[in-house]
Homo-oligomer: A and B are copies of this chain.
Amino acid sequence: MIIDCHGHYTTAPGAHQKFRDAQIAALKDPTAPAAKPGAISDDEIRETIEKNQLRLQQQRGSDLTLFSPRASAMGHHLGTEAISSAWTRANNDLIKRVVDLYPENFVGVCQLPQSPGVPIAHSVAELERCVRELDFVGCNLNPDPSGGHWTSAPLTDRHWYPFYEKLVELDVPAMIHVSASCNPNFHATGAHYINADTTAFMQFIEGDLFGDFPTLRFIIPHGGGAVPYHWGRYRGLADMLKRPALEEHVMKNVFFDTCVYHQPGIDLLVRVIDIGNILFGSEMVGAVRGIDPHTGHYFDDTRRYIDALSLAAAEKQRIYEKNARRVFPRLDALLKARGL
């Protein structure tokens, strides 16, 4: 079984974006009535999924995608907490509808109603709703709701603890995933995403978060940002900061996905990072949608890179399935209940 731990609904029906556009337009016109989610039919959902993520899932031979709202559209920096909450709820409800239409192909992961300067504790209720009522198995946590201005406290700060307590209680992991950038220095998918991944990892080295939360689990997407390429730097910095070795200090709790869009990158990832810390992911249809002229295949068809590794089948199965079932225990329970 092949589980893709990183997929977003980047192809949601037009009415969904229309709702968002109306929300944003209303920010400039306080007399406008509050925007409301428009009607979306099951057929519209089917069309956007079957032509895109489901088609590619089948073409590429993966079985199930952990599916969350479009990351770049979370836009936590836009508007107020109320705006973020309404948009988040609409997004998560839409994911739930996808999952209900294709329960064998998609399992839900939620967006959070974060907003700059708002305590993360305010996101606990939506997490709980998504996990307990909608059967979602994880969430995307934005370490920078300001969208590229980085005005929040580091992820190791006690500010975030009420949320971590709930993650631990529910036994769900968080993928650390920023959204769009409103800082012109940072291209969203080419700089902000990768920088956030790198930043989060270094915060974990500096702090002792997993001393306080030994069972807390994070996925750092996009192959861990710059971290595996600079693994020597991070091992060396941990040493200079008098922290334990990374295997003990961070890597019992942090996992990297395989959203690295060329063979040499994936080769490096499995060379330096323990197989137990690598989860298959593609983020399709996502940041990079084209075909690599060097290979003739989609850049984000990451299964090809894993298949090409000279690893034993059992090791590949850890990347494809077993690690995900361990990191997402609610996914494992759900699959076991289906006899899988």
| Residues in A lying within 8 Å of B, measured CB to CB | 143-144, 148-150, 152-154, 183-187, 189-191, 194-195, 198-199, 202-203, 205-206, 222-223, 225-226, 228-237, 239-240, 260-262, 264-265, 267-268, 271-272, 287-290, 292, 294, 299-300
Contacts and interface: CB of A to CB of B under 8 A. Distances in A.
Give the 4 A-B CB pairs with smallest separation, nearest first. Answer: A232-B262, A232-B261, A226-B226, A236-B288
Contacts of A265: 229-232, 268
Contacts of A154: 184-185
A239 B190 contact: no
Contacts of A223: 229-230
Given A194-B226, A229-B265, A230-B261, A236 B150 contact: no
Nearest to A236: B288
Given A186-B202, A191-B198, A232-B299, 18 more contacts: A149-B149, A150-B183, A154-B184, A154-B185, A185-B199, A187-B202, A190-B237, A191-B195, A191-B199, A191-B202, A191-B203, A198-B226, A225-B226, A231-B262, A233-B262, A235-B292, A236-B299, A240-B288
Contacts of A289: 236, 240
A298 to B, nearest CB: 9
B229 A229 contact: yes
A262 B235 CA distance: 10
Contact of A299 (B229, B233, B267, B288): B233
Given A226-B198, A226-B226, A229-B228, A150 B186 contact: yes
Nearest to A185: B150
Contacts of A152: 185
Contacts of A235: 262, 292, 294, 299
A239 B290 CA distance: 7
Contact of A260 (B199, B232, B294): B232
Given A199-B185, A240-B290, A264 B231 contact: yes
A268 B228 CA distance: 11
Given A152-B185, A226-B198, A288 B191 contact: no
A287 B234 CA distance: 10
Contact of A268 (B184, B229, B299, B300): B229
Contacts of A239: 290
A149 to B, nearest CB: 7
Given A198-B194, A222-B230, A237 B292 contact: no
Contacts of A233: 189-190, 194, 222, 260-262, 287-288, 299
A288 B234 CA distance: 9
